[in-house]
Structure 1
């Protein structure tokens, strides 16, 4: 029997509501406006709360009149928002005004149901961090005390936003939502002024319900780990450390016994390590210890077989995901074989490398459930999306 094929539906009006809702959710706001004019059914779908739960405000985007258009969208659908992303693609003064005004309008929504705020800045929009009005609008949005009409923000993603290194800024921002914060991402790669380890340790003590913390390694220390161990031992699940060129000069290494204590007191927590392309791979070796509950390792800098083998010997056998985003400097096939032999519970292996067929067959035989991108030619890292590679971190 030939496999039955699904007939192509030329008339979109015949699609079920749930399918149309998913399609509409991917459209930008101007296109949604056009879709709403097609018929009464589509108008109702565009105005459905489901469509407006997760929104991305892109500035500058495809707006006819940015300020008035964004204001109209927020006034009409802002109360449906749950997860808001603000994506800034330019450093022009008009964009600063729009972004600031947009945050002020979001802050004024009643009832406000926003649980997650994500601010993304591209390389061309770095000067946003120098604008006091924009920072004040961020602070105003996050500082409002939760009540019946104001759901507390529990997730803040400021990884691309270069905020002042002065800890009082983050303390002020999180003061009234500190008891509600569960996910905090402050891995700002382009930071010129860095949050000190002592400041981060004091902040972590004020976040008792923290589940997921993502920071630069230069802001991490023994004190931060002790704060996590003592304050969040019941709830904490994931710590992500980003290593950058600044780690060349960073000498503090968390001792093995502290990682052991952390694993004992917080048994469900996992560690993810990301190595930026600006840090030589050798710079990572001194930070990794056997007692670190390392589950996910993402390396952008180039590796060689000897250094890579040294690292695998230092790692705990709990490793689940390994991603190498640069072509290795030499042949690492033997290291890959020993890796699969040692880390029996590994789930994902993605590398950019030319691997022999015999090695691929060996890996598949040893771990048939392993998801990988190995082939006889240069393997493409793009076979998985970034969300699959880096997102959706699950606790054990």
Structure 2
């Protein structure tokens, strides 16, 4: 029988994982346990991500606390998440000043090298109605962004800025070194509702200055044929993914077919994905934005409308996708509620688009349609590596028929299989199989987010040395363990 492992014998990598899952106060508590655990507290990997929340009650205290964090661990910081809460008339001024103070301190430090910047759900259109306070926040953000030299990913989705404020942020990103370092840009709903920024030359010029973008996530109505050509000319060897969100009224601003063809020719590595909610996309014809030449690789359809509102539009649209993108479409996801009679049109799409690899459907379909989809895969008319069919409303007899056919027809799906009435059902409720790279089948478990969200409360000073290398965890010279309240915040 193997001897039990003592606490001192726990591998460093295991202790680092434990540290990473704990809030700041608990990290400090276990760092005071012994010299070995104190040593691991110095790993720079523990302090790579910082989430800073400015709320109405304690924005000034938050700024002071986070400034002290920057003094001690700022050079470890790679990812910064900013949340400005929901300011009111009374708290807006205080929050804006606290944010400005914190961001100015980041600007004053030359050793802070932020790679990822996340502006978490700012919703400025909804919460920041006060011009001076809003301007103070935008100015501080712009100044901080201009100081960064290693920024690679910027998440600004849901920011809902005014056009002039949004242009200031984009110009800050497009100036200096960041225009050559930013690779991923999330800007869905970056501007206020019903805004068409491509009509403003300042915005067009700012977007044309990014030289290293690999992924761009953006609203369809933020683009135009001219901007698409600019992207194709500026990023022919860099861009690999253009993700579009279609919402609102896009009639009259559709990107022309010749612009998409030029884009496909100059950016051969780029694929295009589209997120389309048929409920909020105004207009009678869903096909207007999906023209010939668009290199559509993946599409995500969703709707919660009544059957009589969009049923005919959906049927026509599914057939249009099958006829137009049978060569390029590889990923298809569809989430519908209260829809009937799309079975035939869905099968038409799948028979046409034989290169689809990932299929995810949550909708009311007949048992015959589900079996026919599985038969298409079995006959080699589909090349699915992952299939997820969540079909509510079928009877027990229907599921008995489906279960009988499933094991026989889906043996050549190599990654993921789920067929059932619920998302993670089993037996009559459907079943789920996952297959790893060696072909081993395992039960599916819904894993949680392993991102480390830190909530920095009171910090006790401990004698540590910080290693800039995530893999360099070294022993400081005989660290002491006297209680020290000098860094108690």
Scaled by the length of structure 1, the TM-score of the pair is 0.80
Deviation of 1:293 after TM superposition, in Å, equals 0.8
The question of whether the paired residues in 2 share the 8 Å contact of 1:280 and 1:301 is answered with no
Return the offset for 1:270: 0.8
Q: 3-state DSSP class of the match of 2:303?
A: coil
The ranges of structure 1 where at least 4 consecutive aligned residues each deviate by more than 4 angstroms after the TM superposition are 9-15, 60-65, 122-125, 280-283, 381-387
* Structure 2 CA distance for partners of 1:282 and 1:349, relative to 1, 3 Å: farther
Q: Is contact 2:123-2:159 (8 Å) kept?
A: no
Residue 380 in structure 1 maps to residue 395 in structure 2: no
Task: Report 1:48-87 matches (<5 A).
Answer: 48-60=43-55, 65-87=61-83
SS at match of 1:184: strand
For the 8 Å contact 1:55–1:85, the answer to whether it is kept is yes
The offset of 1:283, in angstroms, is 5.2
Asked if the contact 2:354–2:383 (Cα under 8 Å) also holds between the matched residues in 1, the reply is no
Q: CA distance change for structure 1 residues 103 and 205 in 2, over 3 Å: closer, same or farther?
A: same
Q: How do residues 116-265 of structure 1 correspond to structure 2 at under 5 angstroms?
A: 116-121=116-121, 126-128=126-128, 130=130, 131-144=134-147, 151-166=149-164, 168-169=167-168, 170-176=170-176, 177-188=178-189, 191-192=192-193, 193-199=195-201, 200-247=203-250, 250-265=251-266
Question: Structure 2: which 5+ runs fail to align?
Answer: 305-309, 393-420, 426-444, 450-489
1:245-271: CA deviations, max 9, x gaps?
243xx4122222221221111100011
Answer with 72-81 or 331-340: which moved more: 331-340
Could you say if the C-alpha distance between residues 364 and 59 of structure 1 is closer, same or farther in structure 2, counting changes exceeding 3 Å? farther
Pairwise CA distance, 1:301? 2.8
Q: How many residues are aligned here?
A: 373
Q: Which of 290, 306, 318 is equivalent to 1:288?
A: 290
Taking the aligned partners of 2:149 and 2:74, their CA distance within structure 1 comes to 13
Structure with larger Rg = 2
For 1:172 and 1:100, the matched residues in 2 are separated by 16
Instruction: Report the CA distance between 1:119 and its aligned residue.
Output: 0.3
Shift of the 111–74 alpha-carbon distance from structure 1 to 2, 3 Å rule, reads same
CA 368–210 in structure 1, closer or farther in 2 if over 3 Å, else same: closer
Give the Cα separation in 1 of the matches to 2:319 and 2:58. Answer: 53
Instruction: Please give the per-residue CA displacement for 1:180-222, whole angstroms capped at 9, x wherever unaligned.
Output: 3322222226614542345343223211222222222122111
The answer to whether the 8 A contact 2:180-2:210 is kept is yes
With 340-349 and 91-100 compared, the bigger mean Cα shift is at: 91-100
Over 3 Å counting, the alpha-carbon distance change for 1:143 and 1:15 in structure 2 is same
Q: Return the alpha-carbon distance in structure 1 between the equivalents of residues 98 and 297 of structure 2.
A: 41
* C-alpha distance in 2 between matches for 1:28 and 1:128: 30
RMSD: 3.6
Give the deviation of 1:168 after TM superposition.
Answer: 4.7
- Structure 1 position 338, deviation (Å): 2.7
Q: 1:353 to 1:235 in 2, by over 3 A?
A: same
When the two structures are superposed, what TM-score results if normalisation uses the length of structure 2? 0.66
> Alpha-carbon deviation of 1:112?
1.9
Q: Residue 13 of structure 2: SS of its match in structure 1?
A: helix
Shift of 1:139: 0.5
For 2:478, the equivalent position in structure 1 comes to: none
**Higher mean displacement: 163-172 or 153-162:** 163-172
Residue in structure 2 matched with residue 3 of structure 1 by the alignment = none
Gaps of 5+ in 1: 1-8, 145-149, 388-396
1:42 Cα deviation (Å)?
3.1
Partner of 2:104: 104
Contact 1:289–1:314 (CA under 8 A) maintained in structure 2: no
- Which residue number in structure 2 is paired with residue 391 of structure 1? none
